[in-house]
Amino acid sequence: MNGILLIDKPAGWTSFDVIGKLRGILHMKRLGHAGTLDPMATGVLPVFVGYATKACGILPDDTKAYSAGFRLGLTSDTQDNTGEILETHDFAGVTEAQIRELLAGMTGEIEQIPPMYSAVKVDGKKLYELARQGKTVERQARRVRIDALKLTAFDPVTGEGVLDITCGSGTYVRTILHDLGQTLGCGAVMTHLRRTVSNGFAIDRCVTLETVQTLAEEDRVGEVLIPIGEVFASLPQIRLSEKQTALYRNGVKLGLSYLKGQITQAERYAVYGKPFGFLGTAVTDREQGVLRIERNLCEPVNQEVNT
């Protein structure tokens, strides 16, 4: 079984909890996920199954989208409402127009300081482990990408609102809301978080763990298993003949001159072969004039090749 399960992660579960549950349901160990979600968060969690796990580090689309609730007037040690409240402030006078104006200046590539309650490591130790010990350490700002920030709801009486966020991998939504509150001068904490898009997959394609359990009992998990090639649909394609496929799958570097009409100015390609379909990704080595395997994403075979 190789492919992607799109799980709608329930609240209160870590991403690793989901993997552990699926290992029990599917009776297999080779599982991995893309894009960690905090326990309080729900939504799209792509889980890679079998040889598809080899794709986790080379996904071409790192875009994430979220719906995030916030509340003004508070700051916490976790930057959300599950942590210890550190300060309270008056938010009277903050308007929707004021928030929208600030959000307009918070997009693009920015420097973001990771929160203490995060899995980022400093001197070999995870920040959340230090935070649980009551320690605060200096963190280096990291460059992240925020594509869009849209205020979809705001109540000036309660200070509660909802923000739709589109961003790149590694962006902390909690910190976006914390920074917004700091700029407003009243503080803000995140109250809920739902990921609606991850790596090109939308929430409407997700299934629950309960659904996977039921399908597994009926031996029908394949019905919701997405082919790994779909992740790489944005890449230009190379389609190999049966003979080229056998060579490629045995590690032979194919000459670019033998792939006439398929090689463009692009450096990275999705490779398809006969009769296996999607094989994996490859990159061009223009200097050597060959196609180099980047990652094989199907089960290996050892075939006899007639040359």
Q: How far apart are CA 40 and CA 269, in angstroms?
A: 37
Residues 6+ apart with CB under 8 A from 153: 160, 161, 162
3-state secondary structure 245-272: HHHHHCCCCEEHHHHCCCCCCCCEEEEE
Quote the pLDDT of residue 133: 76
Torsion angle (degrees, nearest 10) of CA 136, 168, 9, 47: -110
The sign of the CA dihedral 122, 127, 132, 136 is: positive
Kindly state the DSSP code that residue 133 receives in the 8-state scheme.
Answer: T
The sign of the CA dihedral 171, 147, 208, 211 is: negative
Q: What is the pLDDT along the chain (307 residues), one digit of tens a residue?
A: 889 999 999 999 999 999 999 999 999 999 999 888 989 999 999 999 998 999 988 888 899 999 999 999 999 999 999 999 999 999 999 999 999 999 999 999 999 888 877 777 777 777 777 778 777 877 888 899 999 999 999 999 999 999 999 999 989 999 999 999 999 999 999 999 999 999 999 999 999 999 999 999 999 999 999 999 999 999 999 999 999 999 998 888 999 988 888 998 899 999 999 887 899 999 999 999 999 999 988 765 544 444 3
Ranges for all domains in the chain classified under CATH 3.30.2350.10: 3-60+200-229, 64-193
Please tell me which residue in 38, 61, 77, 80 is annotated as part of the active site. 38
Quote the pLDDT of residue 124: 75
Q: How far apart are CA 306 and CA 299, in angstroms?
A: 21
For the domain made up of 235-296, the CATH class stated in words is: mainly beta
Quote the pLDDT of residue 123: 73
Q: Return the structure tokens found at 43.
A: 């939504």
Quote the pLDDT of residue 305: 41
Quote the pLDDT of residue 301: 54
Quote the pLDDT of residue 114: 80
What element of type H or E holds 24?
helix 15-26
Domain 64-193 has CATH 3.90.550.10: no
38 catalytically annotated: yes
- Nearest by Cα to 227 from 172, 155, 278, 285: 278
What is the CB neighbour count within 10 angstroms for residue 123? 6
Supply the CATH classification number for the domain 3-60+200-229.
3.30.2350.10
Residues 6+ apart with CB under 8 A from 176: 68, 106, 112, 146, 149, 163, 165, 167
Ranges for all domains in the chain classified under CATH 2.30.130.10: 235-296
